[in-house]
């Protein structure tokens, strides 16, 4: 059939060449088409978008631009970009396009580095077809934007630009990882990781890594200056101490720590096994931290919480390590148990009915700003039968955590078995995926939405390990 297509007179040369290439990539195109159709169903079934407790804070910062103490303003500025449309449906639609773009980036990068079509396609299946990924894209939260920025930076970093192109490439990598950091602060360690990779990848060409680090530093430092000018504090957010304190409350034992009277007010006399999930120590009015005078994230309160957390880690290093491993292990379960509580867990499911309006005061304030953004009601409208189709799909189409663990194990195992036969291209996406999984477990707590940004990178690393990828340009017989 391909020969017949090529042999037809009057068929444009470009089309005659593109059609065979499209047939070779047909399975990816099928997966991409299914992913687009599923996202269209989500748009039809849940209008204009789905809300998460954090969504309202993002909207407040978008409508009243100033650094937030808890979250950097990158996603809020993303919302601000689309404010002239006065439609959260537009925002959700763009996030779905970013999800599709992430799948395309993974596939093209895997194929360019000579991964077989089947491996490249399998690497894209979770990001394109996982129901929880699609639901996350429909939520007004920062994770979809963060994922796309990180994946784009990694995909650029594993490729080699010849001639003068290295300056543009290095600058783009730096700007992308800076954008990711200003969207979620967990991206900050990736600046060093990508810089180290480029130093290795470019065979010691310090200039490449230096340009990347400089391009990343400029926006991050600029935001830090804005944050300092607004709050009088140094950093990107003002809640690091509070979140680390909440993390250590999974194991902190004041009988072992022997804190000073000033720090002892943050102790919880209950045994760790009887304590609530970590996040409750930040938001629950009964938390020792929340009961302190003033708002939770004042400079003094955050510093006190950080000092307590530091003492807990120094006094109980093995308990801290055990806590990190326990939280990390939640990423790799066979099923999907409720965690950290039913309320948060339900936000990751396509709802049956319109969710209740927010009850907490900050969210109520944010809802008012959201109505100004939308210039109308913001309640999610559940439209059948489309919503029901998405709920049914979510019941059967999800990547188990145990499968993610297998995907992560594939590259190092193959590297050991094949040794010198395997390119090192898998190392960067694999290390980035592991970093994204470990960091929340180390400084905060596990959350299901924190796992999803690591999935496309783990798939890309596995695709590289399935073949003998090369750093050369895309093969002649691959036309996409």
Q: Read off the tokens for 341.
A: 């509580």
pLDDT at 2 over 60: no
Same domain? 223 vs 315: no
Same domain? 9 vs 25: yes
Asked if the structure places residue 306 within a domain, the reply is yes
Same domain? 209 vs 134: yes
Asked if the structure places residue 44 within a domain, the reply is yes
Instruction: Please give the Cα distance from 41 to 386 (Å, whole number).
Output: 6
DSSP-derived pairing of the beta strands 46-47 and 381-382: antiparallel
Low-confidence winner among 81-85, 174-178, 264-268, 282-286 (lowest mean pLDDT): 282-286
Same domain? 170 vs 29: yes
Asked if the structure places residue 434 within a domain, the reply is yes
Same domain? 287 vs 432: no
Instruction: Please give the Cα distance from 419 to 232 (Å, whole number).
Output: 52
pLDDT, mean over the chain: 90
Hey, which residues does 139 pair with through a beta bridge? 50
Asked if the structure places residue 475 within a domain, the reply is no
Same domain? 16 vs 164: yes
Instruction: Please give the Cα distance from 212 to 178 (Å, whole number).
Output: 10
Q: Tell me whether the omega of the peptide bond preceding residue 212 falls within 30 degrees of 0, making it cis.
A: no
Instruction: Please give the Cα distance from 258 to 228 (Å, whole number).
Output: 34
Provide CB contacts within 8 A for 26, sequence distance 6+. Answer: none
Q: How many CB atoms lie within 10 A of CB 55?
A: 25
Same domain? 227 vs 348: yes
Same domain? 225 vs 279: no
At residue 8, the pLDDT reads: 40
Instruction: Please give the Cα distance from 391 to 307 (Å, whole number).
Output: 45
Which residue in this structure is represented by tokens 């999935």? 455
CB contact at 8 A, 452 and 142: no
pLDDT at 149 over 70: yes
**Interval 67-123: pLDDT, tens:** 999 999 999 999 999 999 999 999 999 999 999 999 999 999 999 988 999 999 999
- Residues of the chain above pLDDT 90, percent: 78
Instruction: Please give the Cα distance from 443 to 247 (Å, whole number).
Output: 6
What's the rounded mean pLDDT across residues 228-235? 94
At residue 421, the pLDDT reads: 67
Three-class DSSP category at 112: helix
DSSP 50: B
pLDDT at 255 over 50: yes
Asked if the structure places residue 327 within a domain, the reply is no
Q: Read off the tokens for 131.
A: 């129901």
At residue 7, the pLDDT reads: 39
Same domain? 226 vs 245: no
pLDDT at 478 over 70: no
Of 266, 294, 321, which closes a domain?
Answer: 321
Same domain? 9 vs 132: yes
pTM for the whole thing?
Answer: 0.92
Q: Closest by alpha carbon to 171, among 221, 136, 208, 138?
A: 208
Q: How many domains does the chain have?
A: 2
Asked if the structure places residue 476 within a domain, the reply is no
**Interval 344-398: pLDDT, tens:** 999 999 999 999 888 777 788 999 999 999 999 999 999 999 999 999 999 999 9
Burial class (CB in 10 A: 0-12, 13-18, 19+), 343: exposed
Hey, which residues does 381 pair with through a beta bridge? 47
Same domain? 97 vs 180: yes
What's the rounded mean pLDDT across residues 435-460? 96
Same domain? 57 vs 185: yes
Q: Read off the tokens for 236.
A: 């990107």
Asked if the structure places residue 480 within a domain, the reply is no
Q: Read off the tokens for 93.
A: 């639609």
Asked if the structure places residue 372 within a domain, the reply is yes
What's the rounded mean pLDDT across residues 16-36? 76
Query: Which domain does 9 fall in, by range?
Result: 2-237+334-465
Of 321, 348, 367, which closes a domain?
Answer: 321
Of 291, 321, 351, which closes a domain?
Answer: 321
Given phi > 0 = left and psi -120 to 50 = alpha, else beta, which region is 210?
A: alpha
Three-class DSSP category at 46: strand
């Amino acid at each position: 059939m391909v020969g017949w297509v090529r042999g037809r007179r009057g068929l444009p040369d470009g089309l005659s060449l593109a059609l065979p290439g499209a047939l070779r990539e047909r399975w990816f195109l099928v997966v991409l088409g299914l992913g687009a159709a599923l996202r269209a169903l989500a748009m039809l079934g849940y209008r204009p978008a789905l809300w998460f407790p954090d969504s309202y804070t993002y909207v407040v910062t978008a409508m009243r631009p100033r650094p937030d103490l808890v979250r950097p303003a990158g996603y809020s500025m993303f919302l601000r970009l689309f404010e002239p449309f006065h439609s959260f449906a537009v925002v959700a639609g763009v996030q779905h396009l970013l999800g599709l773009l992430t799948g395309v980036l993974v596939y093209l990068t895997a194929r360019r580095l000579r991964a077989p079509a089947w491996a490249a396609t399998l690497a894209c299946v979770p990001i394109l077809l996982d129901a929880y990924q699609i639901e996350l894209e429909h939520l007004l939260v920062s994770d979809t934007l963060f994922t796309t920025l990180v994946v784009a930076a990694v995909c650029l970093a594993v490729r080699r630009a010849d001639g003068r192109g290295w300056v543009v490439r290095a600058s783009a990598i730096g700007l992308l990882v800076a954008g990711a950091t200003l969207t979620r602060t967990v991206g900050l360690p990736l600046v060093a990781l990508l810089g180290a990779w480029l130093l290795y990848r470019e065979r010691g060409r310090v200039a490449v890594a230096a340009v990347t680090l400089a391009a990343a530093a400029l926006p991050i430092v600029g935001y830090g200056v804005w944050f300092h000018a607004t709050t009088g504090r140094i950093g990107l957010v003002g809640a690091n101490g509070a979140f680390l304190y909440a993390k250590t409350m999974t194991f902190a034992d004041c009988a072992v720590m022997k804190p000073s009277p000033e720090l002892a007010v943050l102790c919880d006399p209950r045994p760790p096994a009887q304590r609530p999930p970590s996040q409750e120590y930040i938001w629950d009015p009964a938390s020792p931290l929340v009961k302190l005078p003033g708002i939770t994230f004042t400079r003094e309160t955050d510093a006190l919480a950080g000092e307590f957390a530091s003492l807990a880690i120094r006094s109980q290093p093995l308990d801290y390590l055990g806590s990190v491993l326990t939280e990390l292990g939640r990423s790799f379960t066979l099923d999907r148990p409720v965690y950290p509580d039913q309320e948060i867990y339900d936000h990751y499911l396509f709802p049956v009915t319109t969710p209740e309006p927010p009850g907490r005061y900050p969210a109520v304030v944010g809802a008012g700003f959201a109505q100004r953004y939308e210039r109308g009601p913001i309640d999610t409208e559940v439209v059948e039968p489309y919503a029901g189709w998405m709920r049914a799909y979510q019941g059967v189409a999800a990547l188990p955590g145990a499968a993610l663990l297998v995907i992560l194990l594939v590259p190092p195992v193959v590297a050991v078995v094949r040794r010198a036969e395997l390119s090192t291209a898998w190392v960067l996406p694999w290390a980035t995926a592991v970093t994204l999984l470990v960091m929340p477990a180390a400084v905060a707590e596990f959350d299901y939405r924190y796992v999803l940004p690591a999935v496309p990178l783990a798939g890309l690393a596995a695709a590289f390990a399935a073949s003998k990828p090369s750093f050369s340009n895309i093969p002649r017989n691959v036309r996409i």
